[in-house]
A and B are shown apart, each in its own frame.
Chain A
């Protein structure tokens, strides 16, 4: 064999190092993805022994014209908008507040972050008891508005149920996004802020005219990551509907996929919805990548 230079030997080791990841990618990402696409053109049923029949685009036509699917999309849109807007705004405000504190920054961050480490199921469970007709939620709201004895139907009324699931989600992830802002703000050089102060900017002006524009990439990042995560929300909605909450207002796409596949055993239709979810998320991710390329902040 001919002498192969050190570069060639190194290239071989490069292949060795990436092989496990590539194999896992092919087996557990690419293959299931293509398989899902393939399934959408057949009428696959779970547990069925009959060979699946080719149906062309019939599944797509069915899903896109079905009222249930659009209701589910509406539930997803309400949840996503309802969760990501407060998450982005509140975490920005909290992030700004934490960085202005002289003491206890670390402790505040840890406290805010605690809900994020709990399991979603545990979070849903805690709030289920808080939202019980006899529970803390009613007591608190009635105390706030001085309306004793009213039951706000947190888990049965359609709109209240949507508010409840959104509340849980915002509560759980607010700390997570606050940390992103805290890190983002910490990256703004002290000298920039000092310059603003020397030029006579008030605190409000510093925040609005200096910090906010410099934080634009972070804000973009937070809002899209929050949106992507809320699109995938499943646990709270699943637990609540298992416990008897009405399905329709919280029938988010992931829950719909799960129910279509596991309860209705209709694999193909579940795969169509999976694909639509994938496209939505892909568009959002591409927007994020594009924007982070464009908005590289120079201080």
Chain B
């Protein structure tokens, strides 16, 4: 990149690096705080100066976090709900995006531009602007407290779809024609040749969707009123409302809620960063 030798003396460089490394450290501090505090009784969390290495490992926080205030262990159910909702939405949305992205990039049909404009227009509608009518419809259809109700509004993932289309625009037509000559049906071509060879675009779209769902608070807050149907973010809100003084246990909940997504991040970091890099083309 810009490894410019004229960037000044070594001393300047050192100071420069020092400042930035401090900034990056500051970004990490709250995460270390969450980890360490989750192993401390509440009184230790607020005794300053803060001990960055806990005196002893205080497991009780994790027991409280998992068992819940009422020993109902509903947290485990809520974690399972989060996994089901996030993975379910991701799988369906990737299929829908793949289908539509393929249709929009490789087939000519009347109304194709209209469909594409609709997808682009959808990006302008914030979920927050349509959630109230959706909530009312969901209540009318009896979709409260169901997985279907939690997942349905997010299966059309316009960013994922748009990305699939852009990716498939550059997919070689020769491969598709070769498949046709070899007697594959259109669905077979899509599944065997296109879908299975689009891993980067699919992974980026999938991660984007999964992360969004893992983080989703607003819609589950509306739609999942029953304890057993809550997802992790709504569980956290309820847990903190009930138990205002047990800060150690709160941090334990926070750590447990973050483990799955952090594991995913460490194994698939390329696609996480890819979702962010998607914007940087100068044009989308």
Q: A56–B156 Cα gap in the complex (Å)?
A: 33
Q: List 10 A-B contacts (CB under 8 A).
A: A24-B96, A94-B20, A111-B24, A117-B211, A118-B31, A187-B280, A197-B4, A221-B284, A232-B128, A285-B123
Residue from the list B123, B236, B280 in contact with A218, Cβ < 8 A? B280
Q: Is the CB of A281 within 8 A of B124?
A: yes
Q: For window 268-286 of chain A, which residues contact chain B by CB distance below 8 Å?
A: 270-271, 274-275, 277-278, 281-282, 285-286
Q: With the chains together, A99 CA to B283 CA distance in Å?
A: 21
A285 to B28 alpha-carbon distance, docked (Å): 32
Bound: A297/B4 CA distance, A? 24
With both beta carbons as reference points, the residue of chain A lying nearest to B261 in the complex is identified as A117
Q: Which of A25, A207, A228, A238 contacts B237 (CB 8 A)?
A: A238
Q: Decide: A202 near B6, CB < 8 A? Known: A32-B134, A277-B129.
A: yes
Beyond the given pairs A184-B280, A202-B6, 20 more chain A to chain B contacts, judged by CB atoms under 8 angstroms and listed by A's residue number, are A12-B109, A32-B133, A33-B130, A113-B272, A113-B276, A114-B28, A117-B272, A118-B258, A119-B214, A119-B233, A119-B257, A121-B237, A187-B280, A190-B1, A197-B4, A207-B2, A221-B282, A222-B279, A271-B132, A292-B282
In the complex, what distance in Å separates the CA atom of A193 from the CA atom of B170?
Answer: 29
Interchain Cβ contacts within 8 Å, total number: 309
Does A249 count as interface, using CB distance less than 8 angstroms?
no
Q: Which of A21, A217, A282 has the most CB of B within 10 A?
A: A21
Interface of A is mostly: helix
Interface string of A107-124 (1 = CB under 8 A from B): 011111111111111110
Q: Are B283 and A179 in contact (CB under 8 A)?
A: no
| Residues B215 and A119 in contact, CB atoms below 8 Å apart | yes
CB of A295 closer than 8 Å to a CB of B: yes
Count chain A residues whose beta carbon lies closer than 8 angstroms to a beta carbon of B.
Answer: 115
User: Are A13 and B186 neighbours in the complex by a CB distance under 8 Å?
Assistant: yes
Verify if B7 is at the interface (C-beta below 8 Å from A). Answer: yes
Chain B positions 16 through 44: 1 when the CB is less than 8 Å from some CB of chain A, otherwise 0? 10001001100110110110010000000
A111 vs B266: C-alpha distance when bound (angstroms): 11
Known A20-B96, A99-B1, A225-B279; judge A271-B156 contact (CB<8 A).
no
Task: Say whether A28 contacts B107, CB under 8 Å.
Answer: no
Complex: how many Å from CA A102 to CA B161? 36
A-contacting residues of B (Cβ < 8 Å)?
Answer: 1-4, 6-8, 16, 20, 23-24, 27-28, 30-31, 33-34, 37, 45-46, 48-50, 95-97, 99-100, 102-104, 106-110, 112, 115, 118-119, 122-137, 152-153, 155-156, 161, 186, 190, 211, 214-215, 217-218, 221-222, 232-233, 236-237, 240-241, 244, 247, 250-251, 253-254, 257-258, 261-262, 265, 269, 272-273, 276-277, 279-284
A222 to B99, CA, bound (A): 29
Q: Are A271 and B133 in contact, with the CB atoms below 8 A? A: yes
Please give me the residue from chain B that is nearest to A173 by CB atom: B276
Residues of B within 8 A of A24 (CB): 96, 155-156
User: Which residue in A39, A176, A234, A238 is a CB contact (below 8 Å) of B128?
Assistant: A234
The smallest C-beta distance from A21 to any residue of chain B, in angstroms, reads 4
Q: Chain A's nearest CB lies how many Å from the CB of B190?
A: 7
B237 A242 Cβ-Cβ under 8 A:
yes
A257 contacts B136, CB within 8 Å? no
